[in-house]
Every structure is written in C-alpha cells, then in structure tokens.
Amino acid sequence: MLLGVREPLWAAWRARGQRVRVYVSFGPEWKPYSLRRMRKNPQVLRHVIKATLTGR
C-alpha cells in the first residue's frame, strides 16, 4: 500500500494478523511522482500535512 492511503484498511488487516507493506517513493524521481500522486489523490496531501504538523 502507498504510504498515507487507506490507513484504516491497513489497521483492519493488521488486526487480523496480516502483514502490510508500505510503499514509500524514493530515488531521483520521488518528487515528480509524489506531486502526481497528490494531484490525483488529495488525501495523500492531507496525510503529509497532518504528519508534518503532528511529527509522526
């Protein structure tokens, strides 16, 4: 799963004992990729802002 997307779903899976992999963009193309994702899904941007403000 992509970091910041459908986190309640991750929690449900983990509660059932399933492992969850979190995909974090990395490398020379991380910024254009991340900007595209934020434009397509504003929830990603909300997660980034929340994480920045709360320090998690």
- Residues 21, 44: Cα–Cα separation, whole Å: 17
- Residues 41, 13: Cα–Cα separation, whole Å: 22
Amino acid 9: pLDDT = 86
- Is 70 exceeded by the pLDDT of residue 8? yes
- Residues 43, 20: Cα–Cα separation, whole Å: 19
Amino acid 39: pLDDT = 87
Residue 37 has a CB neighbour count (10 Å cut-off) of: 18
Q: What is the pLDDT of residues 12-56, one digit of tens each?
A: 998 999 998 888 878 888 888 888 888 888 887 887 788 778 876
Q: What is the pTM (predicted TM-score) of this model?
A: 0.47
DSSP state of 27: S
